[in-house]
Chains A and B, each alone.
Chain A
């Protein structure tokens, strides 16, 4: 009989980046890279586990903005072009590296991988990864949870509850179109929670959310089991807290597994290494060198990028297996200790950004694969569990109001509210107020006006994406984030003015409906 549970949670999110107005748009590559390196590899792992009868459990968010991109035909087409290019490039690499067996083996590995990705994407998944993930949800292995509609950081919208509500309602409705049922859990964007937010979650039938460690530990009253059991808010919605020990094993820059010297080096890519004219057709159309995804080196050590040694796949896989074993060993110890100490079976909640697995930590999906297999075959102390399953089996929990918190730097709002980005909020709040005003003023509308109102809601949601504030703070690619914020606010404001003047510009509206086509089924009255 198990002594406790491990709940791995993967948060899969990318901001909505879709630019039909450009033939080739750099930021769209974020999606394509994540498909090739994270989403498809994860699906492959799940599939292998199911085929081999390994009973695994995972909780995973697929944010509405990511889901919308994955279901978008234009981006799906572009992904195929993208992977075609990689297949061609890796094919040429096999030629180019013919006299360097260690590199050629890797070129071959990538070539096979890309061909497999293309094949799966087109034939197995029918271009739609959402259905591929849904399959594992329907099998009871995966609990897919939702997120804010556009990953808006909710604590900084607190002054307009309708705006918060719209982020949740639109997300829940969108989830239903993807998965044919209501979401039972939510990944609050950046784990941003403020007391009272749970009331809004409850309205949508959401049963649980996650907070960072101190969200639970600093809750009121004191949580008896720390983060090793969920708590109920007064609304009855459950909150799970992040376990730091297990998180650190993966996340920590110093002690974390992904830094192992045998793992693939992310930052050395042939897009930068190879002769310009050779690589030119495979980088950005304007000639900007970019990461192609073909990387031949391992981390090697704390050495300069030019000193990196070739990647050896088998050695990396061996390390992934070791690390999975180490992780499991430590969880078993942790769970045994907690079990005796708490007098109850603890749940260890380990949330990560999904894109860490595969995209950044190339061997991450393999690590997960080994971990679930070892957990299944090698021991009986720790069982994998989804957060929902845990609640179903352990309905009695303490009532605690979690503390205002996020999983961002320093644990609160500072990352999204500081000198570089605080200017956006007066405009975002104003737009949100105006949207509420419109929704109240037009409780019933049709035709062009309705389209205008719905589009205004889309533009507002897109402007609210926390990614833009985050990017402004990180200091790279700021102009894109500023432009996105401005564009959506601008489009919103124009719509607002045109609706007020009864002068909606149909051709322009049709354009922005096509460009910012997220949430086709949106109903602006969520703001009323």
Chain B
């Protein structure tokens, strides 16, 4: 005789809240990840879960083939603070700003110290000297102790600059430890240069038809949304219809509720089972479970099992009424 049960569970439909939900891929890498609290299901159930053999389904889903090889353990590693180099590198950020990072080797430092004399050197200031390479006009930036990189604003775009890292002595002399690569800042507007062969009758119009007065607008907003989506730990909280975050209404107190119905049971594993006339696959042990959303009204759910030789059948018909008030 098959077991029969009828269970109705009501589960609250949860409005999503942002929670940390990224699996940290690291073994033990990241203090942040390690400190993250274990996620818990945020559901409150009236009855305990009833879907049996869950792990099996799960295994099947995530089974990725027989050969999961063992890997050598990789040792802990930290990127070095410095490489013992003596160099400075400049990188363009936009028409007005570039970025420089540097390293002054202790050898170069000693060299300069010896050259200028220890006393004088100890009173020197570390500075960046930024040159316009066209006329070698320059300006200095005095650095805070221990800095190894800087964002530098240039006087004018579309010019070529380089920068020295060095020491400004009390007597006004500047001793460079290293010189950077040369960088040309982008032009931030249309060029003044006009090609005679390709004379332009009405440039302003071309410029504006091409979108020239709205540069930097357009794709980025949605691109960010799209990319963010790939990176979002939770997909929640965004409306796709706009770039702004969905503003949750100010609700000091609220409630949403819904009902679901779970029908489950078991029969001979070899039997054929139908629910409301539709064939349902049994698990290996003959158990089954179905989950329905449950709207208001009456539901009749005939469940029928037929023995594999067709000689016997059993029927159970739960009737469920939901009335929401």
Interface residue B74 (Cβ < 8 Å from any Cβ of A): yes
CA distance A253 to B222 in the complex (A): 6
| B324 close to chain A: CB less than 8 A | no
On chain A, the residues within 8 Å of B225 by CB distance are: 253, 360
- Distance in angstroms from A522 CB to nearest chain B CB is 21
* Nearest A residue (CB) for B195: A221
Contact bitstring B261-277, A, C-beta under 8 A = 1, else 0: 00000000000000010
**B226 adjacent to A355 (CB under 8 Å):** yes
Encode B217-237 as 1/0 by CB contact (under 8 A) with A. 111111111111111111111
Partner-contacting stretch, out of A177-185, A280-288, A311-319, A370-378? A280-288
B13 at the A interface (CB under 8 A)? yes
Given the contacts A158-B91, A479-B24, A23 and B62 also touching, CB distance less than 8 Å: yes
For B25, what are the chain A residues with a Cβ–Cβ distance below 8 Å?
Answer: 19, 22, 25-27, 480, 483
For the complex formed, measure the closest distance between the CB of A274 and the CB atoms of chain B, giving whole angstroms: 8
How many pairs, one residue from A and one from B, have CB atoms within 8 Å of each other in the complex? 366
Partner of A259, one of B71, B219, B240: B240
The complex places the Cα of A470 from the Cα of B228 at a distance, in Å, of: 10
Q: Which residues of B contact A244 (CB under 8 A)?
A: 210-211, 214, 217-218
Stretch at the interface among B35-43, B113-121, B308-316: B35-43
Tell me if B15 and A306 are in contact (CB < 8 A): yes
Chain A residues within 8 Å of B199, by CB: 224
Would you call B233 and A477 a contact (CB within 8 A)? yes
Given contacts A360-B225, A400-B195, A508-B74, 6 further A-B contacts (CB under 8 A): A25-B25, A158-B91, A228-B210, A302-B242, A429-B89, A476-B228
Question: Are A251 and B222 also in contact (CB < 8 A) when A244-B210, A425-B101 are?
Answer: yes
Which 10 pairs, one residue from A and one from B, show the smallest C-beta to C-beta distance? A244-B211, A226-B210, A276-B41, A253-B243, A277-B49, A404-B186, A412-B94, A259-B241, A221-B193, A490-B77
A493 sits at the interface (CB 8 A): yes
Instruction: Determine whether B72 belongs to the interface, using a CB cutoff of 8 Å to chain A.
Output: yes
B133 to chain A, nearest CB (A): 15
A249 to B193, CA, bound (A): 32
Among A226, A243, A252, A256, the one with the most B-chain Cβ atoms within 10 Å of its Cβ is A226
Complex alpha-carbon distance, A242 and B85, angstroms: 41
Known: A96-B260, A100-B295, A213-B215. A474 touches B94 (CB 8 A): no
Is B108 engaged at the interface, CB distance under 8 Å to the other chain?
no
Interface size on B, residues (CB 8 A): 122
Interface residues in B136-160 (C-beta closer than 8 Å to A): 148-149
Q: Would B94 and A413 count as touching, CB distance under 8 A?
A: yes
- Kindly state whether residue B283 has any CB partner on chain A within 8 Å: no
CA distance A30 to B195 in the complex (A): 47
Nearest B residue to A244 via CB reads B211
* In contact, B243 and A285 (Cβ under 8 angstroms): no
Identify which of B68, B71, B211, B242 contacts A243 (C-beta below 8 A). Answer: B211
B77 touches which one: A245, A306, A480, A493 (CB < 8 A)? A493
Contacts of B228 in A (CB 8 A): 474, 476
Cα of A14 to Cα of B231 in the assembled complex, Å: 11
Cα–Cα distance between A217 and B205 once the two chains are bound (Å): 12
CB distance from A42 to the nearest CB of B (A): 15
B290 at the interface (CB under 8 A from A): yes
Interface presence of B293 (CB below 8 A)? yes
User: When A96-B292, A258-B222 are in contact, do A85 and B61 touch as well, CB less than 8 Å?
Assistant: yes
- Neighbour of B235 across the interface among A272, A398, A425, CB < 8 A: A272
A195 touches B293 (CB 8 A): no
One of B64, B236, B292 near A99 (C-beta < 8 A): B292
Tell me if B187 and A220 are in contact (CB < 8 A).
yes
Chain A residue at minimum C-beta to C-beta distance from B89 = A159
Q: Check A95 against B290 for contact (C-beta < 8 Å).
A: yes
- Closest residue of B by beta carbon distance from A15: B230
- Least distance between B78 CB and chain A CB atoms (Å): 8
Contact A413-B91, Cβ < 8 Å, known A96-B293, A486-B77: yes
Q: Are A507 and B33 in contact (CB under 8 A)?
A: no
The residues of B that contact A235 with a CB separation of less than 8 Å are none
Q: Are B91 and A30 within 8 A (Cβ)?
A: no
Q: List 24 A-B contacts (CB under 8 A).
A: A25-B23, A27-B25, A81-B61, A155-B91, A217-B212, A241-B210, A252-B221, A258-B222, A267-B237, A273-B16, A276-B41, A280-B54, A304-B248, A305-B246, A400-B195, A407-B223, A408-B220, A413-B91, A414-B93, A426-B101, A429-B89, A480-B24, A511-B72, A515-B71
Q: Is A518 at the interface (CB under 8 A from chain B)?
A: no
Given contacts A22-B25, A222-B193, A474-B231, contact A356 B62 (CB under 8 A): no
